[in-house]
Amino acid sequence: LQEQATMYIKKMDQERAKIEELDRMIARYQERIVEQKARLGGVNAAQVNNQLIQKQIRVLENRMDKSLMKFNETMAQNKVLRQKIDEYRRERVVFDGIYKKLERELHEKKKEMAAIIEDSKNAYQARDKSQSQTLDLQNNAEKERTEFESEFKALGEMIKQQHIMLE
């Protein structure tokens, strides 16, 4: 029994030594924890850090909401602008059709005008030729009349002279 008591006393001494060693280790770790907390900003560092993060989250969410509102407004404006662009495209198709039609009509009118100018030119040339021929005919007629009259006078004189000679 004495041996058992001695053995238990030894065991208790060993356990006390272990406990003392563990207490020293706990004290060292507690000191390290205090140092770490001091380095991180104290006892409330985690709570303060969490509050800052929450505040930053709120700020970023507000920015996101504003950006989303601005995006939606821009999308609405884009929709209106796209509708206007589509309307302008339809109008352009109509105007292009009208322009091509007017261009064809102008081309036809130019052709007609060129033909009329050519006809007019030909008519003036024909008129000038006719006037020239008329003038030539009048000159020839005048010349022939003058010749005829002089021949007629000469023949009249000859007839008179023959008439006088016959008498």
Average of pLDDT values for 58-83? 96
Separation between Cα atoms, residue 103 and residue 111, nearest integer Å: 12
Please tell me the distance from the alpha carbon of residue 24 to that of residue 59, in angstroms, as a whole number.
Answer: 47
Helix, coil or strand: residue 1? coil
Q: What span, in angstroms and rounded, lies between the C-alpha atoms of 40 and 63?
A: 29
* Interval 46-69: pLDDT, tens: 677 788 889 999 999 999 999 999
Q: What's 115's DSSP letter?
A: H
pLDDT of residue 49: 75
pLDDT at 37: 72
- Tokens standing for residue 60: 């970023």
Residue 16, token pair as written in the block? 């006390």
Q: Enumerate the H helices of the chain as residue ranges.
A: 2-40, 45-166
Could you tell me which residues come within 8 angstroms of residue 41 by beta carbon, excluding any fewer than 6 positions away?
Answer: 48, 49
What is residue 42's predicted lDDT score, i.e. its pLDDT?
A: 58
Instruction: For residue 167, give the DSSP letter.
Output: -
Per-residue pLDDT of 102-114, as tens digits, reads 999 999 999 999 9
Query: Would you state the structure tokens that stand for residue 64, as one six-digit string?
Result: 């996101």
The larger pLDDT score, comparing residue 162 to residue 46, is at 162
Q: Hey, is 41 helix, strand or coil?
A: coil
Contact 4, 12 (CB under 8 A): no
Q: Are 2 and 9 in contact (CB under 8 A)?
A: no
Instruction: Say how far apart CA 16 and CA 33 lie, in whole Å.
Output: 25
pTM of the shown model: 0.43
Amino acid at 5: A
Unique residue bearing structure tokens 């020293």: 24
